[in-house]
Structure 1
């Protein structure tokens, strides 16, 4: 096997030396090499410092690869995939003096030995085992860029090296900070076979002392989305709402509350559809954390309480169930048990004359109307703003809020 592979490599070198602008199919299928051509869309992997034959092998070892571009002067190899995605339009090869372009289908795959039949998965690379018959499969490529329920893929960054990044914008409010709508909100980086989240927040993130925060990708059923994760007392919580600086308005339409809006690094609503999916997949505990002035003027104070929490589907207007469990924050959410979600353009509250969502400047599970308004106006010390009823005639007006969900122990 090793001798045969070596022989095939020699044949290819001879062909390259004797046929400068066209290669005929003398043996085994080494042909269709287009000189001074480069197909510059669809590249998903790079290698530098290798010769053309090694570039061909890099492609043959990947089921995902369909062609290569190779720079002779820079010893630079570009590996291309099928033209089947937003960032990879159908294009023809273009003039490029320093490049060679060739398609995988024209090559003799026997030069990669036992990897010739593409035995590995779509995003893996096949590596022959030295000295013996066989192969191993290793993770190499990340596959198609992730798709998210609450974000749109905008563009692709190609850079020299093995790293590729895709640019995304959050759905809903695409311009919460008064910046250009084309601003990249975050990126997904393909590195070593895995997608990594990179934030491009355009303003300072909300700070919560003592909590480690990261953004993760989740998949529930066929729905994939990004969500911030925090660890509190050793437990994992997924953040579904955050207020901290008033930069994102929360008086939104039904559709915006359905799909979510804002910026995951600052203020946002994750989306009622995602909240529903979380609640039917075992995330049945709601954590409510607010920062507000202490009632006894003892300075800034942190309140936290937990509730049993479920949210129905849109067919039932995202009807919610709240049941107080524990905490140092007064129970003001049980009032909303069994209430439908309301927005200014879809009034589902129990008030006979008023539109609670419109009057209190945010969507919520209003009754008639509320003892807690965590989606109201920021910085307004009235019940139309961020507010929480504590006792008869006593309210607190938070400067920071965070709603988060975790799995019950029996669902883990």
Structure 2
């Protein structure tokens, strides 16, 4: 899955995220059914690469990655951040916060779960149109206000929300100009 040029609209329906969209030589979402089929046959790891508005390359490598089927809301299963990274630009990118979450789109939100986090307090979750993309935010982990990693939302720095794809973690706030998720069999 890749978002670099901002030409592909990621504000899509549940069905579009299920089937996939875009072009593999450009911006694209592989499709949740395809991701499920790929990651549930063998063990896989995940690497997320991103570039911020200053041109700095960031990455995160997770030791395991898979999603469940549509019946289970494409629930995310992501392992811990790998300790094997040697580059100082390795960061968690906040993705482990979503472990166990079901996928959501503007036209398909999973029912509420009872947990200590109240996603109604998160102003961004209430307006999925503003987020402009599907993601694993059944609940958004709240740290102070609302911190999250929605890696495939608006990427045009001159339009849309703030200055680009906004990534907030416990330590830092980033505005990303490109993001890419790479899945590899281990």
Tell me, yes or no, if the aligned pair for 2:105 and 2:134 is still in contact at 8 Å. yes
Displacement of 1:323 after TM fit? Answer: 2.3
**What per-residue deviation string (whole Å, max 9, x for no partner) do you get for residues 329-356 of structure 1?**
2340111011000000001275347446
Aligned to 1:401: 179
> Which of the pair has more CA radius of gyration?
1
> Of the candidates 213, 233, 245, which is equivalent to residue 5 of structure 2?
245
Aligned to 2:152: 375
Distance 1:283 1:405 in 2: 10
Q: 1:383 to 1:319 in 2, by over 3 A?
A: farther
Give the number of the structure whose residues are more often strand, by fraction.
1
Distance 1:283 1:258 in 2: 21
Answer yes or no: is 1:345 the counterpart of 2:123: no
Aligned to 2:143: none
Displacement of 1:359 after TM fit? Answer: 3.5
Answer yes or no: is 1:386 the counterpart of 2:141: no
> Of the candidates 80, 84, 93, which is equivalent to residue 324 of structure 1?
80
Distance 2:6 2:19 in 1: 20
**What per-residue deviation string (whole Å, max 9, x for no partner) do you get for residues 255-276 of structure 1?**
0000000111110001000000
CA RMSD of aligned residues (A): 2.3
How many residues of Structure 1 are paired with residues of Structure 2 in the alignment? 162
Q: 1:319 to 1:345 in 2, by over 3 A?
A: same
Aligned to 1:169: none
Distance 1:290 1:301 in 2: 8
Tell me, yes or no, if the aligned pair for 1:330 and 1:389 is still in contact at 8 Å. no
Distance 1:390 1:340 in 2: 20
Q: 1:321 to 1:402 in 2, by over 3 A?
A: same
Q: 1:272 to 1:352 in 2, by over 3 A?
A: same
Tell me, yes or no, if the aligned pair for 2:44 and 2:184 is still in contact at 8 Å. yes
Q: 1:278 to 1:356 in 2, by over 3 A?
A: farther
Displacement of 1:283 after TM fit? Answer: 4.4
Distance 2:129 2:66 in 1: 24
Aligned to 1:309: 65
Tell me, yes or no, if the aligned pair for 2:81 and 2:92 is still in contact at 8 Å. no
Aligned to 1:274: 34
Superposition map of 1:178-193 within 5 A: none
SS at match of 1:401: strand
SS at match of 1:396: strand
Q: 1:355 to 1:276 in 2, by over 3 A?
A: farther
Q: 1:254 to 1:384 in 2, by over 3 A?
A: farther
Superposition map of 1:39-188 within 5 A: none
Tell me, yes or no, if the aligned pair for 2:47 and 2:60 is still in contact at 8 Å. yes
Tell me, yes or no, if the aligned pair for 1:283 and 1:405 is still in contact at 8 Å. no
Unaligned runs of at least 5 residues, structure 2: 113-118, 141-145
Whose RCO is larger (CA < 8 A, sep 6+)? 2
Distance 1:281 1:262 in 2: 24
Displacement of 1:358 after TM fit? Answer: 3.1
Tell me, yes or no, if the aligned pair for 1:373 and 1:385 is still in contact at 8 Å. no
**What per-residue deviation string (whole Å, max 9, x for no partner) do you get for residues 113-145 of structure 1?**
xxxxxxxxxxxxxxxxxxxxxxxxxxxxxxxxx
SS at match of 2:110: coil
Answer yes or no: is 1:365 the counterpart of 2:117: no
Q: 1:287 to 1:318 in 2, by over 3 A?
A: same
Displacement of 1:378 after TM fit? Answer: 1.4
